[in-house]
């Protein structure tokens, strides 16, 4: 069973590095069917999956079992950046509300009421008016002989026109001129003399090391790594260090962790399963390289790239706490 899983993982990694993503996914899923806790299969499927949410699901399964897995945390940061850069699909427009419908019995009742009112109005207006009855009921006035007084017309006073007072315009306030600010002279900052830049640390020479302590020397000018035991040269190999815009840090450091494999990512790259990684300062490390073979020339984002067999030898030779001396 273990041999079958290991073979599937090797075949999947080879297919992924050759660009055969569909074949690689089949191999890793087959391995995952045999071992549902395979970290390598889960992280590779996370990288190969086109859906960022599915990638996060695979990575979460690894972190649920191993919360401190550095490869899973690196993959998690990569997946989150990928999800933020993926445009979201537009949400569907809200459904139009259904029109309000009256119940059937209410509509019938309203129609019947309207018809009843119309019929009653027609019947009332169509009835004939009985004139004799109305005349009999009206009182009759009998004429009485009275003297008729003819009124004498009197002069009516003609209306006198009344003057309507015209509203007095209120005085408008005159705009007050706002005094413009008086320009003040801006004091010119005194230019303080800057301290001269510190010289780079002096390279550590083998003669200054006593005993048989193991240490690593990296010459950025020569692009060469040398392994020493005290003053004795043990092995020297060509390397590729940081490019000018992503330089390798200079100084004396100590290896603080070793990983047989690790995933590395940055703004423009993602490299899964980098072999024989030894970190010596933050995210800077010495490691094997499968994506180029141009050793002896700067090629990296700041790490020290080694030919993978050289990286394997150095990984087995050095230990956590080994001194790494980097200089020009």
Indicate the residue among 56, 84, 112 that finishes a domain.
84
Residues whose CB falls within 8 Å of the CB of residue 252, separated by 6 or more in sequence, listed in order: 201, 204, 323, 324, 325, 326
Indicate the residue among 84, 113, 133 that finishes a domain.
84
Q: Are strands 214-219 and 251-254 parallel, antiparallel or unpaired?
A: unpaired
Asked whether residue 111 is assigned to any structural domain, the reply reads no
How does the average pLDDT of the chain come out, rounded?
A: 77
Asked whether residue 112 is assigned to any structural domain, the reply reads no
Q: Computed over its alpha carbons, how large is the radius of gyration of the chain?
A: 49
Q: What is the pLDDT of residue 12?
A: 84
In the structure encoding, which two tokens stand for residue 198, read together?
A: 């510190």
Helical packing angle, 2-17 and 21-34, nearest 10°: 160
Q: What is the pLDDT of residue 218?
A: 98
What is the C-alpha to C-alpha distance for residues 308 and 274, in angstroms, rounded to an integer? 10
Indicate the residue among 60, 84, 108 that finishes a domain.
84
Domain span at 32: 2-84
Count other Cβ atoms within 10 Å, centred on residue 163: 5
208-237 pLDDT, tens digit per residue, is 787 899 999 999 999 999 999 999 999 999
This prediction has a pTM of 0.43
76-122 pLDDT, tens digit per residue, is 888 888 877 766 555 555 555 555 555 565 666 778 788 776 776 65
Q: What is the pLDDT of residue 220?
A: 98
For the domain that residue 78 is a member of, what is the CATH number? 1.25.40.10
157 pLDDT band, cuts 50/70/90, is very low
Q: Could you tell me which of 48, 39, 41, 36 has the C-alpha nearest to residue 79?
A: 48
Asked whether residue 282 is assigned to any structural domain, the reply reads yes
């Amino acid at each position: 069973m273990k041999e079958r899983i290991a073979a599937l993982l090797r075949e999947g990694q080879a297919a992924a590095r050759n660009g055969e993503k569909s074949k690689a996914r089949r191999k890793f899923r087959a391995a995952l069917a045999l071992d549902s806790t395979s970290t390598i299969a889960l992280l590779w499927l996370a990288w190969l999956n086109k859906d960022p949410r599915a990638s996060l699901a695979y990575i979460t399964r690894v972190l649920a079992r191993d919360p401190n897995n550095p490869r899973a945390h690196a993959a998690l940061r990569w997946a989150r950046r990928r999800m933020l850069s993926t445009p979201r699909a537009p949400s569907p427009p809200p459904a139009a509300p259904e029109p309000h419908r009256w119940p059937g019995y209410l509509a019938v009742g309203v129609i019947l009421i309207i018809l009843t009112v119309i019929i009653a109005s027609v019947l009332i207006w169509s009835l004939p008016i009985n004139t004799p009855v109305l005349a009999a009921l009206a009182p009759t006035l009998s004429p009485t002989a009275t003297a008729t007084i003819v009124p004498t017309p009197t002069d009516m006073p003609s209306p006198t026109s009344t003057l309507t007072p015209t509203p007095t315009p209120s005085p408008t306030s005159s705009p007050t001129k706002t005094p413009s600010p008086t320009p003040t002279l801006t004091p010119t900052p005194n230019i303080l003399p800057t301290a001269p830049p510190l010289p780079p640390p002096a390279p550590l020479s083998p003669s200054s090391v006593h005993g048989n302590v193991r240490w690593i020397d990296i010459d950025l000018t020569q692009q060469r790594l040398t392994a020493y035991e005290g003053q004795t040269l043990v092995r020297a190999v060509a390397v590729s260090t940081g490019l000018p815009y992503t330089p390798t840090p200079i100084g004396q450091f100590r290896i603080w962790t070793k990983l047989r494999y690790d995933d590395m990512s940055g703004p423009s790259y993602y490299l899964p399963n980098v072999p024989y990684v030894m970190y010596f300062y933050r995210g800077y490390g010495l490691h094997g390289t499968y994506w180029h073979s141009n050793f002896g020339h700067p090629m990296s984002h700041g790490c020290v790239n080694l030919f993978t067999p050289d990286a394997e030898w150095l990984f087995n030779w050095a230990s956590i706490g080994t001194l790494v001396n980097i200089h020009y």
